[in-house]
C-alpha cells in the first residue's frame, strides 16, 4: 500500500450507502482532481482474467456465475451480505488485490492531479484499513431511513436485502469518529456540491501549509 511519506497527497472519501459519494466524486473529477473508485477496482477482481476470479469461484461455488461464465454480482451479494463470515472470506481475497491496484493508480495519477491530490472513494475505507494511508478522511452522511429508501429505489433491492447491506457496514457514528470533513447529504445535490467546494478550499489552504491535517486514528 502507499507509503506514509506519500500519504499527504491521498484523501479518503467514504460514507454509508447512498450518502452522496458518487455526486462528490463526479464534481471532483470534473474539476481536475484525480479520483480512484475502489468499487470499480473491486469489479476488476471479479473479472475472469484476474487471478482473484478463480479464488472467488473456488470459495463460493459456480452458482455465483452467469451462464456466460462471469460473476453474477447480485447472487454473490446476497450470499456475502447475509453472512458476516462469508463477507470476510470475500474481503480476504479482494482487499489485498484492491490495495495493490490503489497504489498503482495513485502513482499514475498524482503528478497530473490538481495540487497533486488524489481522492480515494471507498465505502469500506475504514474497515479495510485504507484510511491509514490517507492524509485526510471525508465522510458523507445520510439519515439511515432515507439511505434504506434510496438503496431500494436505486438498486431494486428488497427491504431485507437493503437492510443486510446497510448492516454490513460501520454504523454512522463509528465512521464519523474518523472524519476530518463531514459532508451531509440531506438536501439537494447542489447543496452537497457546495459543501465539497468549501472542503476543497480548506484542503488547498492546508496543503499550501505543507501537509494535510490528519486525526490520529
Cα–Cα distance for residue pair 179/195, rounded to 1 Å: 14
Q: Which residues contact 202 (CB under 8 A, 6 or more apart)?
A: 181
Residues 134-149: tens digit of each pLDDT: 999 999 998 888 878 8
Domain membership of residue 142 (yes or no) is: yes
Cα–Cα distance for residue pair 11/14, rounded to 1 Å: 10
Confidence of residue 11 (pLDDT cuts 50, 70, 90): very high
- Would strands 136-141 and 181-184 be described as parallel, antiparallel, or unpaired? parallel
Sheet holding 181-184, edge to edge: 34-37, 118-121, 10-15, 136-141, 181-184
Q: Is the CB of residue 178 less than 8 Å from the CB of residue 215?
A: yes
* Residue linked to cell 484510511: 131
- Positive or negative, the CA dihedral 156, 158, 164, 170 is positive
Mean pLDDT across 12-40: 93
Stronger pLDDT, 120 or 1, i.e. the higher one: 120
pLDDT at position 113 over 90 = yes
pLDDT at position 168 over 70 = yes
Is the pTM higher than 0.95? The answer reads no
- Residue spans of beta strands (DSSP E) within the chain: 10-15, 34-37, 118-121, 136-141, 181-184
CATH number of the domain at 194, please: 3.40.50.300
Stronger pLDDT, 191 or 208, i.e. the higher one: 191
**Under the phi-then-psi rule, with left for phi > 0, alpha for psi from -120 to 50, and beta for the rest, what region is 129?**
left
pLDDT number for residue 6: 52
Task: Report which DSSP code applies to 112.
Answer: G
Domain membership of residue 140 (yes or no) is: yes
pLDDT number for residue 150: 79
Domain membership of residue 51 (yes or no) is: no
Range of the domain at 155: 7-46+105-208
Q: What percent of the chain has a predicted confidence (pLDDT) above 90?
A: 70
pLDDT at position 7 over 60 = no
Mean pLDDT across 31-42: 95
Domain membership of residue 189 (yes or no) is: yes
Mean pLDDT across 169-188: 92
Mean pLDDT across 105-120: 94
Domain membership of residue 115 (yes or no) is: yes
Domain count, the chain: 1
Domain membership of residue 68 (yes or no) is: no
pLDDT at position 49 over 90 = yes
C-alpha cell at 197: 467546494
Confidence of residue 216 (pLDDT cuts 50, 70, 90): very low
Cα–Cα distance for residue pair 185/216, rounded to 1 Å: 26
Domain membership of residue 17 (yes or no) is: yes
Amino acid at each position: 500500500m502507499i507509503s506514509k511519506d506519500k500519504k499527504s497527497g491521498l484523501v479518503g472519501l467514504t460514507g454509508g450507502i447512498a450518502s452522496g459519494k458518487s455526486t462528490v466524486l463526479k464534481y471532483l473529477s470534473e474539476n481536475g482532481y484525480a479520483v480512484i473508485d475502489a468499487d470499480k477496482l473491486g469489479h476488476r477482481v471479479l473479472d475472469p482474467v484476474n487471478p482473484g476470479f478463480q479464488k472467488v469461484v473456488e470459495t463460493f461455488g459456480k452458482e455465483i456465475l452467469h451462464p456466460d461464465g462471469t460473476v453474477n454480482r447480485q447472487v454473490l451479494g446476497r450470499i456475502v451480505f447475509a453472512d458476516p463470515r462469508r463477507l470476510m472470506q470475500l474481503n480476504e481475497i479482494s482487499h489485498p488485490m484492491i490495495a495493490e491496484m490503489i497504489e498503482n493508480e495513485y502513482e499514475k495519477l498524482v503528478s497530473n492531479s490538481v495540487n497533486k491530490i488524489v481522492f480515494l472513494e471507498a465505502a469500506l475505507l475504514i474497515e479495510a484499513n485504507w484510511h491509514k494511508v490517507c492524509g485526510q478522511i471525508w465522510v458523507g452522511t445520510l439519515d439511515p431511513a432515507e439511505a434504506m429508501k434510496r438503496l431500494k429505489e436505486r438498486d431494486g433491492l428488497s427491504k431485507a436485502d437493503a437492510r443486510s447491506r446497510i448492516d454490513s457496514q460501520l454504523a454512522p457514528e463509528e465512521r464519523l469518529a474518523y472524519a476530518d470533513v463531514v459532508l451531509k447529504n440531506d438536501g439537494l445535490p447542489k447543496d452537497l456540491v457546495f459543501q465539497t467546494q468549501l472542503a476543497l478550499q480548506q484542503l488547498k489552504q492546508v496543503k499550501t501549509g505543507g501537509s494535510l491535517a490528519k486525526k490520529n486514528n
